Amino acid sequence: MSTLDQSYVDNGSFKPDLFKGKVAFVTGGAGTICRVQVEALVLLGANAVILGRNVEKTEKAAAEIQQLRKGSKVLGLGGVDVRDVHSLKKAVDTTVSVLGRIDFVIAGAAGNFLSDFNHLSSNAFKSVVSIDLLGSFNTAKATFEAVRKSKGAYLFVSATLHYYGVPMQAHVGAAKAGVDALSNALAVELGPIGIRSNCIAPGIIGGTEGFDRLASGEANLHERIPLQRFGATKDIADATVYLFSPAASYVSGTIEVVDGAAWHLGAFGASVYPKLLIQQNSSEDVKL
């Protein structure tokens, strides 16, 4: 079920048909955050392709998003693994064949779970880095020729977990730090040929899969956020629209943090430190 509807255009900050004629290519597009990013782009005139490993979920999400705007085209390509650049290249070829071009790329496929270092296996660490970081590189690599032709833009979905030491998130923090570095390098290398690259770093976003897994059991967590509320997926969608819009034509190599200023206080990790870590690190069940 879609989060946004026509009221996003009628009552929102952005003009209708802002992205008319544009095409977005989005990994993880059936997930809670990336899906709403796609909804916003489609409502504002873009066509899109969303990619994921789960065929049924991806195709269902695409069909629902397509209903948001009359005349829109939204493809759902399941069975795509961002860890395999050839899998992504096939999806790119299908996108260009059906939709004609690629203007905007969102690298949003990600994996996460809570684990302290003591119980985080090398395999688990590698899995997250492969999806988040290698997957982001592969997405940029596979779409490069199409993005070069359109003088388009990349947007990598990052996080704030590497801005300070967040317990239970060493694997994700390390991967997202790499994503930021990748985006910065692309902004510098590809800027001379007209391509922009930025990151968006969501904070604690309510109603998402990540929130349910990582933060839903924390009492009064919103009180530790300076703006005193959790983020909404619409907050991420709005920032996404801005970064792809002509208003951001001179914005590249930046990290747009959307977290209510929470990262300045290290709000997320505070509740599990230090009692839980002492308990976890006392265990002799070390994972290799």
Please state the domain extents for the chain.
7-259+271-281
The tens digit of pLDDT for each residue in 121-151 reads 999 999 999 999 999 999 999 999 999 999 9
- Mean per-residue pLDDT of the chain: 92
The residues near 149 (Cβ < 8 Å, ≥ 6 apart) are 101
Report the alpha-carbon distance of residue 112 to residue 110 in Å, rounded: 7
Mean pLDDT of 63-69: 97
Given a contact cutoff of 8 angstroms between Cβ atoms, the answer to whether 146 and 101 are in contact is: yes
Helix (H, G, I), strand (E, B) or coil at 171: helix
> 258 has which bridge partners?
202
Helix (H) or strand (E) holding 255: strand 255-258
Task: Indicate if 158 belongs to the active site.
Answer: yes
Mark whether 283 is an active-site residue.
no
Catalytic residue among 115, 136, 158, 183: 158
Alpha-carbon distance of 158 to 256, in angstroms, equals: 9
pLDDT > 70 fraction of the chain, expressed in percent and rounded: 92
Asked if residue 258 has pLDDT above 80, the reply is yes
pLDDT at 119 (0 to 100):
95
Cβ(102)–Cβ(150) below 8 Å? yes
pLDDT for 33 equals 94
pLDDT(38) > 90: yes
For CA atoms 21, 24, 29, 35, give the dihedral sign: negative
How confident is the model over 179-225, as pLDDT tens digits? 999 999 999 999 999 999 999 999 988 877 766 665 656 667 777 78
Cα–Cα distance, 231 to 38 (Å, whole number): 18
Question: What confidence tens digit (pLDDT) does each residue in 147-176 have?
Answer: 999 999 999 999 999 998 888 999 999 999
Catalytic residue among 22, 136, 176, 197: 176
CATH number of 7-259+271-281: 3.40.50.720
Arithmetic mean of pLDDT, 228-244: 95
Quote the pLDDT of residue 144: 98
Residue 1's pLDDT band, with cuts at 50, 70 and 90, is confident
